[in-house]
Structure 1
């Protein structure tokens, strides 16, 4: 019997070629902007335009709607490459998936046909509005409500921690439609609907080039056909989305960690101490070896989980693998960026060098898309099922 094992464990060449294109764009055109994006805390419209022009924003969509049709692994490889140089810019691509995957998995053909071509081309941008001031890890505690009025729904409430606030053309809004049975429904809410506004923006530790805000809905009316999925089944819309999009946070974390490792490694080659490069000192060699190893392990777990997402049939253990990838990659990114700062010493602590920004950006990967404590709950439940 002829063995094909090496081919079974390799990434197709066309995907590697696209990854290399994204890497080149990131290194040459995004990296020079990264420090300014962080310093100015301004959304990089120029980077979004660049990603649209290069079909990168089309990665989450099928060819039918003008997307690339290349699947989850290719998408997250691209997130990783952008995150190596600028986590805020990587979030532009991550939110393309987070704000559209609920439609991909659950929406009517009419909603997909209306929005996906404009999303794939980069003309429009989405957002995902689940969290609230009193409902983060526990979405069932949400207070936003939607009441049926003829052929419309009237939505009232406030969301919190919403990425792309003020940028998005529509928001996937989750609201309670049956208080007695605690039923939630997902709605597509266009940003220009009367009564919709952004109450305030957060001032964050990291990912400063991506606005995070609190959408406010005051008697916002949306047509019944704007329901995503089935009325009362909104929680399953949210969970099935997050099951996959947490891989975006994992890919971002892998990218940040690799970017920090590469920078620290190059610095250690050039920095002299005691008459020789500091990469000749065993204490620092061991740090760099652990950083490289942890990031390689995180990447393998990420790619495994992505490949599972791309299978025609959903594997039963998919939630466990996507949670493990997100948990491990984000914890590793935090550890690696702290070590990168230590290797650079005093230079690591100042913003003339990128590793302090990478550390600040890494922290959020342990929190959003489901905190790492929640990921451990998901993994443990799958193990005891």
Structure 2
């Protein structure tokens, strides 16, 4: 469906070469130790890859599709290195979407250069994917706000210079919504970053709970009109979901690559395993699903680049995230099966593909939430036709 331009094909070849030459030697170790790969951050910075999704005025390509290509190629080899890009890009998207010109001028250039790092914190222990159910409070005070509450699973918090924290500016405890994102420096008084979570996947990029105790945020560090930041949060997630889908495509492709390489020299019952019809059918189904997911992700990314917003983007973005990450889980699980008993041994890398794929079905809105979005928009459209 989507023919990449000559420039995008060159980028794809470049990203693939970087992944094979620089990421591959480190991928297993990063997963095994769970230590933050500062060397990979420095590599991405030196290659100026934090610029990719930025508008051209900041030195970027202003291309979600090019960003997805990078994430796909890196996830194919090292999920954690691709993750470093993603956790930098989502706050960028929020500031571009809802920030004032002064906020953009202040925060985007250092983020683009890799001289600053950021995180975004929406999830809370009681609400999970229910963004409108956020209860972290932002109380109006002279000159700004006081934030109080608890956040969960804030990825990259301990490595960031500031965090975009979602909090509710509402005087009614029972009211839903009324959100804004607030720019909170990680050294702010009253902010505590909790211990690193022990994760099944994405182990090299830390996630933490946050504890906010009367944290002061000046008014100029609020994103968007007061109490009307829900749209900014949702549009940011809509625009970033193709990137999550690209992570799924890359994981699936990497798992298939490893499965084929593993069995091509194996024999069973007196013949090469790869010659069994059942095995070839299994590989064919894996490859077909990956190609379908890739096309859906590329289409969603192309719509972001074309300026599509609102319900049209929300549905397609949700489909790309849902389908690609479900494909990643299915392909990774089948790849483990191809490995046989070796697939459940930590001596082989295929297990990390399955663990990382499972994580993708949950983050950035669970796949059940994506189905809710798609189904609701379908029903709403049908009702409007009456």
TM interval, shorter chain, is: over 0.9
2:162 equivalent to 1:170: yes
Give the aligned partner of residue 314 of structure 2: 319
CA contact (8 A) 2:235 2:309 kept: no
Report how far residue 9 of structure 1 moved: 4.0
Secondary structure (helix, strand or coil) at the match of 1:341 reads helix
2:235 equivalent to 1:243: no
RMSD (Å) for aligned C-alpha atoms: 1.4
CA distance in 1, matches of 2:62, 2:168: 35
CA distance in 2, matches of 1:246, 1:62: 18
CA distance in 1, matches of 2:70, 2:62: 11
CA contact (8 A) 2:2 2:299 kept: no
Query: In the alignment, which of 6, 28, 31 is matched to residue 35 of structure 1?
Result: 28
CA contact (8 A) 2:241 2:321 kept: yes
Give the aligned partner of residue 216 of structure 2: 221
Give 4+ residue runs of structure 1 displaced > 6 Å after superposition.
none
Q: Deviations over 1:35-90 (max 9, x none)?
A: 11011111111101101111111112123223x22411011111111100111111
CA contact (8 A) 2:50 2:89 kept: no
CA contact (8 A) 2:129 2:366 kept: yes
- 1:1-385 to 2 correspondence within 5 Å? 9-66=2-59, 68-180=60-172, 181-182=175-176, 183-314=178-309, 316-385=311-380
1:312 to 1:140, Cα distance in 2 relative to 1, 3 A: closer
Report how far residue 316 of structure 1 moved: 4.5
CA contact (8 A) 2:311 2:377 kept: no
Q: Deviations over 1:229-278 (max 9, x none)?
A: 11101211111111111222111111000000011111121212233321
Secondary structure (helix, strand or coil) at the match of 2:362 reads coil
CA distance in 2, matches of 1:341, 1:9: 30
Report how far residue 184 of structure 1 moved: 1.5
CA contact (8 A) 2:248 2:357 kept: yes
1:250 to 1:9, Cα distance in 2 relative to 1, 3 A: closer
Report how far residue 315 of structure 1 moved: 6.7
CA distance in 1, matches of 2:171, 2:17: 51
Secondary structure (helix, strand or coil) at the match of 1:248 reads helix
CA distance in 2, matches of 1:179, 1:95: 32
Report how far residue 309 of structure 1 moved: 0.7
CA contact (8 A) 1:44 1:209 kept: yes
Report how far residue 313 of structure 1 moved: 4.5
CA distance in 2, matches of 1:368, 1:36: 23
CA distance in 1, matches of 2:268, 2:307: 55
Q: How does the TM-score come out when normalised to structure 2?
A: 0.95
CA distance in 1, matches of 2:171, 2:254: 47
Secondary structure (helix, strand or coil) at the match of 2:364 reads coil
CA distance in 2, matches of 1:50, 1:285: 38
CA distance in 2, matches of 1:65, 1:92: 20
CA distance in 1, matches of 2:3, 2:132: 41
Secondary structure (helix, strand or coil) at the match of 2:251 reads helix
CA distance in 2, matches of 1:58, 1:270: 42
CA distance in 2, matches of 1:39, 1:313: 40
Q: How does the TM-score come out when normalised to structure 1?
A: 0.95
Q: Deviations over 1:180-232 (max 9, x none)?
A: 25411211111121112212221111111110111221121111000111110
CA distance in 2, matches of 1:353, 1:54: 30
CA contact (8 A) 1:253 1:333 kept: yes
